[in-house]
Amino acid sequence: MQDKPLDPSERTLLKTIAELQAVDGSVGRDALSVATRGRGVEFGRSYARIKSLGLIVETSRRAPFLRRLFGAPTLLVVHLTEAGRMALSEMAAPRAPEPPLAPLAESVEAASEPELVLDVQDPTPSPSPRAPAKPVKRRAVVGFTEELGGTPMPPATAPRDADPDAIEALREVLSGLGIDLTMAGEMLATQRIAEGHSGAEALVQVILYTFAHAVHQDLTNGRATAAMGLAEYAVEVHRELQKLSDAGAISAARFAADMDQLSVLMSATPDAARLAATLLQDPYGGAAPPAVLPEELRSGPRGDGDDDDSF
């Protein structure tokens, strides 16, 4: 069907289309993009390739007349082709077991071995065997120790290596919001995914802790959070994250809890200061800002003698 086999991202995307189509009967391209990125899978390149291979087709579906009056756009609907269904069947089919290796001709080798004859005359004392060396115990190296400076990190919860595809998907979504992911954000997202959270839930955690750092910085410098436009920006971010929740990429309870905390952070009340301080106790989310907010939100109004030390 194709010269190069489908990679893991392309196979996951094809399975996601089949799952959504089985539930809803049709799959919108925008909803598919949100659901796929919520699973930590790259969308743009994978979608372009399976489309070029003829595994999917797009059709345009016009919105009803009244909705078009209010500016509703034309919906792009994705369908699996016969080739796409065949590719799914091939992925689901079990692989044939490999034939067992032929037994080695042990009898032939045994017959060819020369007979061993021991000479017991004038035995010489054999040297005494050396005692086995004791294994050397090595101390585990733990990052962010007091010697290096920063928050101590327990070795039992140290994150595994980051999945490049998942981190790149998070970076792409954040970039669409005007937010730049940092190395601290990569570590936070990796640790949350290692705990069993989805890629979309890790994304929400990165955003929540980014706002916590911003609020803490504002309160430390005596600047009003509302004056910097953070509250209005948080509303826009909430609307985008709501799409992930509606697509089922985030559990309802997890989304509600994180958004409640984001609302408290934007309240410009003593509760916001207390919550920010509590969140920054997290060894992963509090060590450094997980992401950098848009530039216009990092230079709020200040006095003539104030330094611009916001991140």
Q: What is the CATH number of the domain that holds 37?
A: 1.10.10.10
Phi-psi region of 21 (alpha: psi -120 to 50; beta: other; left: phi over 0): alpha
Find how far residue 229's CA is from the centre of its chain: 28
Final residue belonging to a domain, choices 71, 92, 113: 92
Q: Give domain status of residue 108, yes or no.
A: no
Per-residue pLDDT, 127: 52
| DSSP H or E segment with residue 179 | none
Are 185 and 278 within one domain? yes
Whole-number Å distance between alpha carbons of 170 and 206: 9
In terms of domains, do 72 and 168 share one? no
The domain tally of the chain equals 2
Q: Decide which of 77, 92, 107 is a domain's last residue.
A: 92
Give me the pLDDT at residue 138, please.
39
Task: Give pLDDT < 70 ranges for the chain.
Answer: 1-3, 62-74, 94-162, 222-228, 298-311
The answer as to whether 260 is a domain residue is: yes
- Measured from the Cβ of residue 180, the count of other Cβ atoms closer than 10 Å reads 16
Q: What is the pLDDT of residue 164?
A: 83
Query: Position 138: which residue type?
Result: R
Rounded to whole angstroms, the Cα distance separating 74 from 90 reads: 34
Pair (283, 182) in one structural domain: yes
Select from 92, 111, 130 the last residue of a domain.
92
Q: How deeply is 268 buried, as exposed, middle or buried, from its count of CB atoms within 10 A (0-12, 13-18, 19+)?
A: middle
DSSP 8-state class, residue 223: -
Q: Helix H segments across the chain?
A: 8-24, 29-38, 44-52, 65-69, 82-92, 106-112, 164-176, 183-194, 199-221, 230-246, 252-265, 270-279
The boundaries of the domain holding residue 177 are 161-297
pLDDT in tens, 55-72: 989 888 765 544 444 444
% pLDDT > 70, the chain: 66
Question: How many secondary structure helices (H) and strands (E) does the chain include?
Answer: 12, 5
Mean pLDDT of all residues in the chain?
A: 74
Residue type for 248, please? Answer: G
Q: What pLDDT is recorded for position 129?
A: 52
In a domain, 120, yes or no: no
Could you tell me if residue 106 is inside a domain? no
pLDDT of residue 63: 56
- Specify if 275 maps to a domain: yes
